[in-house]
A and B are shown apart, each in its own frame.
Chain A
Amino acid sequence: MRDIRLLTEPFNPGMLIGPFTNAHPELGAVCSFVGEVRGENDVEALELTHYEPLTLPGMHELADRAFARFDLMGLLMAHRIGVLRPREPIVCVSAAAAHRRDAIDTVDFCMDHLKSAAWFWKREKRGSSPDGGWHWIEPRAEDHADLARWK
C-alpha cells in the first residue's frame, strides 16, 4: 500500500497510521514518525508553501526510490501545507516491512529528503521579533549532512 498525501487541514496522525498498519496484516515491523511545530522562540505560526506541479509528483518519486532501496510492504507519507500553529503535526511517515531495519531506515530516508530535498518552503511568524513578522527558514547544515548520508 502506498499512501502519499498533501494535507491542507490539521490532521490526526493516528487516523492515518491505524488504517495503514491494519492494511498490512503480514508485516513484521512498522515504524512511524510524526513531526510537529515547535512552540519555542516565540513562534506563533508556521506556513508551508508548495509548488503544485512538482511537490506531490516529487513525493511519489521519493516513494519510488524508497521502494527500490528498501524491502518494503507499504509506505505512508503525509505532509501539511498552509498555516500551522504550535503543536500541530506537519509531517507523518510510516513504513511497513517484514523486518525492523527496512522500516526504520525508510522513515529516516524519507524524512531526510522531505526536510531538504522536497518542494516545500517554510516560514515562521515570531511574536517577539521587532517587526512581529514572518521569517523564511533555510535548511540547516545538519539537514544537508543528514541528506548526504544516503548518497
Chain B
Amino acid sequence: MSVQILFLGPLQDISGCIEQEAPAPLDWPRLLDAVGPSVAEQLEADERIQVACSGVVLADRTKLRARDGDKVGLLPPVSGG
C-alpha cells in the first residue's frame, strides 16, 4: 500500500533523490510530512510548484488524494526549448 513520489527539476537537488515511496493514502499534509522539512518548506513557499497525481495536474494541489499505486509528481516551474 504505497504511493510513489517523483521529484522533478530542482526539487531533486533539494530532496537528494529522484523518487521515494510513501504510505497510501496520501493527502497534502501527509505529503508534506513524507518529503521531509526541506522539500516541504519549498512546496509551501513556492505556489508555482504544481502536483500531478497519476498523470493529471491538480487544479488545487492541497486537494491531493493519492491511493495505493498512484504516482505523484512534484512539478516546479518549467523551462524547455
Contacts and interface: CB of A to CB of B under 8 A. Distances in A.
Nearest to B10: A136
B57 interface: yes
B80 A116 contact: yes
B45 interface: no
A72 B45 CA distance: 42
Interface string A118-151: 1111110000000000001111000100000000
Interface in B25-58: 52, 54-55, 57
B75 A139 contact: no
B52 A54 contact: yes
Most buried by B among A57, A117, A119, A120: A119
Contacts of B52: 51, 53-54
Interface of B: 6, 8-10, 13, 52, 54-55, 57, 71, 73, 75-81
